[in-house]
């Protein structure tokens, strides 16, 4: 598969990689559409028994591609929110076990891609941040996924502050399951092979479906509500000010009301 997502199946492990390293794997509509197609194809690939999500380059993902996703266009904001919600939903509901290897920063909406996985591996260079409030947005969609891993208190602290945490802190908070000494991808691959040797694929699928069975309705409702909040935040004065500062590469002091047009 060409484009910002590449897939490779080897010995039952389907590796799905974000591949736009020049843009630090920033999430565009094109990337989300390609990722959705890759996940759909994974479900229809008989030999695929484990999905391993990872990324090429120094960053897992810089988050939303603010240069190519024009949130000032309501239609674009709506499409992006709907596609991101769909990818989060598919990652959580795909019957195959999903492993995620994080080497480098994962920011904003990319944190949701990570946290939607069943097992998460973080390398020494991994960093995580719900950075939306720094540019006047709301981490609504990613919070739906994060809420299934973090306590409300821990999620609020990360979402409100936009604080960046390293791999060790992410492990302490429960955001990741395994700390890799060197390469998260290498350790995730080793674990995937071990998983295939030691566990029944049918039993894993049934287990995942059973554990997810009590929440599908809630997940849909929460993602629908989050899309509404995402679109409202994208149309706000704060977002206009924050995104303009981002595009112009200038600092913005949120403590000065005139700077945000409020």
Q: Model's pTM, two decimal places? A: 0.90
**Other CB atoms closer than 10 Å to residue 156's CB: what's the count?**
12
Name the catalytic one among 8, 75, 132, 169: 132
Kindly give, in sequence order, each residue whose CB lies less than 8 Å from that of residue 72, ignoring residues fewer than 6 positions away.
Answer: 234, 240, 243
pLDDT, tens only, 170-209? 999 999 999 999 999 999 999 999 999 999 989 998 898 8
Q: Which of 146, 40, 132 is nearest to 80 (CA)?
A: 132
User: Is 132 a known active-site residue?
Assistant: yes
Element (H, E) at 127: strand 127-129
Q: What is the mean pLDDT of the chain?
A: 93
CATH architecture entry for 1-183+197-262: Alpha-Beta Complex (3.90)
Q: Cα–Cα distance between 110 and 48 in angstroms, integer?
A: 24
Kindly give, in sequence order, each residue whose CB lies less than 8 Å from that of residue 218, ignoring residues fewer than 6 positions away.
Answer: none
pLDDT at 48 (0 to 100): 96
pLDDT, tens only, 4-27? 999 999 999 999 999 999 999 999
Domain boundaries, the chain: 1-183+197-262
CA separation (Å) from 125 to 10, 27, 121?
26, 20, 12
pLDDT at 261 (0 to 100): 46
pLDDT, tens only, 119-173? 999 999 999 999 999 999 999 999 999 999 999 999 999 999 999 999 999 999 9
- For β-strands 50-55 and 105-107, DSSP reports them as unpaired
Q: Cα–Cα distance between 208 and 211 in angstroms, integer?
A: 5
pLDDT, tens only, 203-229? 998 898 888 765 655 888 899 999 999
- pLDDT > 90 fraction of the chain, expressed in percent and rounded: 83
């Amino acid at each position: 598969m060409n484009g910002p997502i590449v897939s490779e199946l080897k010995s039952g492990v389907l590796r799905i990689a974000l591949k736009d390293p020049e843009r630090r794997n920033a999430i565009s509509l094109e990337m989300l559409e390609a990722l959705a197609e890759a996940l759909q194809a994974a479900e229809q690939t008989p030999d695929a028994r484990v999905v391993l999500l990872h990324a090429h380059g120094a960053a897992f993902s810089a988050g939303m591609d603010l240069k190519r996703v024009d949130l000032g266009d309501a239609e674009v904001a709506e499409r992006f929110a709907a596609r991101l919600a769909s990818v989060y939903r598919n990652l959580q509901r795909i019957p195959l076990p999903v492993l995620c290897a994080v080497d480098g920063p994962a920011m904003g909406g990319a944190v949701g891609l990570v946290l939607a996985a069943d097992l998460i591996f973080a390398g020494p260079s991994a960093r995580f941040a719900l950075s939306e409030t720094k540019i006047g947005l709301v981490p609504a969609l990613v919070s739906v996924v994060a809420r299934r891993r973090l306590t409300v208190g821990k999620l609020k602290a990360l979402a409100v502050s936009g604080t960046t945490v390293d791999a060790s802190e992410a492990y302490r908070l429960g955001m990741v399951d395994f700390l890799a000494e060197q390469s998260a991808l290498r350790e995730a691959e080793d674990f995937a092979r071990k998983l295939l040797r030691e566990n029944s694929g049918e039993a894993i699928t049934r287990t995942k479906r059973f554990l997810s069975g009590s929440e599908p309705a809630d997940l849909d409702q929460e993602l629908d509500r989050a899309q509404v909040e995402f679109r409202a935040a994208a149309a706000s004065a704060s977002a206009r000010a924050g995104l303009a500062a981002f595009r112009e590469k200038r600092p913005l002091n949120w403590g000065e009301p005139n700077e945000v047009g409020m």
